[in-house]
Structure formats: structure tokens, C-alpha cells
């Protein structure tokens, strides 16, 4: 084989990965960050966080302010037809034992949610991939943490609506606002990250950070008949779960929660958990669950990686554990899901 022919596959691969080898807007579609970027911009102690990351707080008045930019600048291509419903799991090619751990970072208008550093620190210490679905307002109230998650190659981020709106109750313009504000807030933080990276001489590493969120998670798992179509037109795949990882966490011990997850685990599963310090046992559950799933031969992937590994299993309506079991939230929270509990 001539030198020219042997180099051709490398060149093609390079073009595919970078979308043009060094072009200004190029980024690697399968990459979620850069260790160089992460460790240049933050010291280990900063990444590890502190106790001040944990507290949740009630605000004196609900924070209804929009982000500094309300429309994303980047448009995404529409979602392919096979992924236009609500994705609960994937059937991996060859039965490969892969599983996606996902953590929601929910924050409604009247509250500040926390950041459960022990979960993130554990995942980093064991090189475990995961996906974080962040509320747009959460990203605004936790900009440094959000940028750390964005920069970390282990983690994918997804859209979890601006103030946790119940999309089943919202009209199209309200749904678009919840989602677009969050896309725009992510872009604002991406731009801030890029500015910091350039200042520290690692601007090129930004080609490895996702410039837009490409997946979304329904707050409360709630949708109506139009939601899937709207999300598909916005280019966002809806990622539900096949295992409600913290189900009945108040009534169950951590060992019982581990067993609950193991009983439901199967190749291509998606596990729902939270990293906003609202559920109280997740930080104890995650290390045990990762260990037990690892013993059973499971590999951890992000949701976008999972979607590339086999056909998606979809449903028409989201739920927690069984169809219909989340409808009660429609009357539980004010402001179409964005405010506090209705007394």
C-alpha cells in the first residue's frame, strides 16, 4: 500500500472527528470535554468542592428572571424519526452490558438546589461516565459547577428545562421558553468557559466541549401529545429512564435501593438519580451501585453514547416507575410545575 493510501483513512477519520481539522467552529461530536481544560482551569481542591455546595434554600421571592440571552444562537438538526418519542432505554447491539447513570439537577423558581459533590467526586475518582440533566436556572445559580461538568470528559450534560416546568400543562410557547432559555444559558456558560480557556492558553481544548445540549429530560417525566414533536424540531432527544434509581428512598435503606436497581438492571438501561442534594441517600447509593454493577460486568456510558449502541426503546408518555404514576404532580406544584407545592 502506498504512503498516500495508508494515510487516507487517518485523514478521513480526522475530518470526521474534527469536522475540518482545526476549523474555527469544529468540535468533536463524540467528546464531552478535556482533562487538560478541566485541570488547567481548576485546582483539585476547587473541583472537590466544599460543604457550602450542599445547602438548599428557599428564596424570599421566586426567581422568574430570564437568562441574559433567551434564544440559543446555535440551531440543532431535527431528531431522527427513530428517536422522536420518549426514550426509556436502548437495546445494545450484541447484548453489550452497558448502562447509563443519569443525574438530574432540578431547580424550581422559589428555591436554590444544591450540588452533591460526593457523587461527582466519586465518579471522577473511578473514571465513571455519567450524564447530568441540568435546569437552566440551576446552571445560572451554579455557574462554576456547571462549567466544571461541561469541561469534564467523563460527563455529558442535558437540558432539564428552565425552572422544572411540567410540560404536560404548558402550551407550545411556554415549553419553548423552558427549553430555549436553558439552551441559551448553556451557551452563555460555554462562552464564559471559552474565554477562560483562551486566557489560560488552552483555547484549543474547547473543540472537545459540546457547544449545545443535545438531549433533554422531562421534569417529573411529564409530557403531552405535542411535546415529542416540539423537542424533535428543536433537535433534542427526550431521555426518560428505565429504572427510577431512588424510588421510595425515604422508606428504603441504601442496601435495599442497591438491590432495587440491581433487580431491574439490564443491558442498555438508563438509571434516574439526582445530584442536587434533594434525595438524601444518593451519595451513599452511587458507590455501592457502581461497585455491584461493575462486578456484574457493566460498563458505564453517557446517554448519547448509549444511543449510538443500538435501537432506542420508546414510550409515548413518561412516568416514574409505572405508566400514569406521575400524573399526581399536575396538581401538586403551582406555576405549572415551576413554583412550590400547592398548600
Nearest CB to Zn ion, comparing residues 49 and 219 = 219
Size of the site for Zn ion (CB under 5 A): 3
How far apart CA 35 and CA 151 sit, in angstroms, is 8
Nearest CB to Zn ion, comparing residues 111 and 196 = 111
Q: Any residues with CB less than 8 A from the CB of 85 and at least 6 apart, and which?
A: 228, 238, 314, 315, 316
SS3 content of the chain, % helix, strand, coil (to 5): 40, 15, 45
Q: How far is CA 279 from CA 141, 250, 272, 273, in A?
A: 19, 8, 12, 8
Cβ 194 to Zn ion shortest distance, Å: 28
| 75-104 residues near Zn ion, rule: CB under 5 A | 104
Piece of the chain touching Zn ion by CB under 5 A; list 34-42, 197-205, 218-226, 331-339: 218-226
**Residue length, the chain?**
343
- Structural contact between residues 276 and 75, judged by C-beta atoms closer than 8 angstroms: no
Residue 202 within binding range of Zn ion, rule CB under 5 A: no
Cβ 275 to Zn ion shortest distance, Å: 11
Cβ 111 to Zn ion shortest distance, Å: 12
Cβ 108 to Zn ion shortest distance, Å: 9
Piece of the chain touching Zn ion by CB under 5 A; list 93-101, 146-154, 198-206, 213-221: 213-221
Residue 277 within binding range of Zn ion, rule CB under 5 A: no
Which position's Cβ is nearest Zn ion?
A: 106
Nearest CB to Zn ion, comparing residues 106 and 307 = 106
Q: How far is CA 315 from CA 61, 160, 221, 240, 322, in A?
A: 37, 19, 11, 9, 12
Cβ 32 to Zn ion shortest distance, Å: 21
Cβ 204 to Zn ion shortest distance, Å: 35
Nearest CB to Zn ion, comparing residues 219 and 335 = 219
How far apart CA 179 and CA 276 sit, in angstroms, is 19
Distance of CA 247 to the CA centre of its chain: 19
Nearest CB to Zn ion, comparing residues 241 and 298 = 241
Residue 106 within binding range of Zn ion, rule CB under 5 A: yes
Residue 42, classified by CB atoms within 10 Å of its CB into exposed (0-12), middle (13-18) or buried (19+), is middle
Chain residues in the site for Zn ion (CB under 5 A): 104, 106, 219
Amino acid at each position: 500500500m502506498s504512503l498516500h493510501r495508508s494515510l487516507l483513512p487517518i485523514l478521513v477519520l480526522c475530518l470526521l472527528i474534527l469536522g475540518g481539522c482545526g476549523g474555527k467552529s469544529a468540535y468533536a461530536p463524540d467528546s464531552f470535554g478535556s482533562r487538560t481544560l478541566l485541570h488547567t482551569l481548576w485546582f483539585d481542591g476547587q473541583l472537590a468542592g466544599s460543604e457550602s455546595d450542599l445547602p438548599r434554600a428557599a428564596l424570599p421571592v421566586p426567581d422568574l428572571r430570564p437568562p441574559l440571552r433567551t434564544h440559543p444562537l446555535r440551531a440543532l438538526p431535527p431528531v431522527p424519526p427513530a428517536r422522536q418519542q420518549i426514550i426509556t432505554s436502548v437495546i445494545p447491539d450484541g447484548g453489550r452490558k452497558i448502562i447509563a447513570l443519569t443525574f438530574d439537577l432540578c431547580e424550581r423558581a422559589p428555591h436554590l438546589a444544591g450540588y452533591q459533590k460526593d457523587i461527582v467526586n466519586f465518579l471522577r475518582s473511578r473514571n465513571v461516565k455519567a450524564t447530568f440533566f441540568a435546569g437552566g436556572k440551576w446552571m445560572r445559580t451554579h455557574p462554576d459547577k456547571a462549567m466544571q461538568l461541561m469541561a469534564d470528559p467523563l460527563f455529558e450534560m442535558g437540558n432539564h428545562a428552565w425552572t422544572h416546568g411540567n410540560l404536560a400543562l404548558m402550551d407550545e410557547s411556554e415549553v419553548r421558553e423552558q427549553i430555549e432559555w436553558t439552551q441559551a444559558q448553556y451557551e452563555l456558560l460555554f462562552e464564559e468557559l471559552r474565554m477562560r480557556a483562551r486566557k489560560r492558553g488552552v483555547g484549543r481544548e474547547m473543540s472537545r466541549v459540546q457547544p449545545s445540549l443535545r438531549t433533554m429530560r422531562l421534569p417529573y417525566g411529564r409530557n403531552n401529545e405535542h411535546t415529542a414533536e416540539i423537542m424533535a424540531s428543536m433537535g433534542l432527544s427526550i431521555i426518560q429512564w428505565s429504572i427510577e434509581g431512588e424510588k421510595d428512598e425515604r422508606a428504603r435503606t441504601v442496601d435495599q435501593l442497591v438491590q432495587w436497581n440491581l433487580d431491574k438492571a439490564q443491558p442498555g438501561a438508563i438509571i434516574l438519580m439526582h445530584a442536587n442534594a434533594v434525595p438524601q441517600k444518593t451519595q451513599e447509593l452511587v458507590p455501592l451501585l457502581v461497585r455491584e454493577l461493575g462486578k456484574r460486568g457493566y460498563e458505564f456510558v453517557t446517554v448519547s453514547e448509549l444511543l449510538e449502541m443500538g435501537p432506542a426503546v420508546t414510550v409515548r408518555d413518561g412516568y416514574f416507575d409505572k405508566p400514569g404514576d406521575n400524573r399526581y404532580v399536575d396538581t401538586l406544584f403551582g406555576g405549572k410545575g415551576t413554583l412550590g407545592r400547592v398548600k
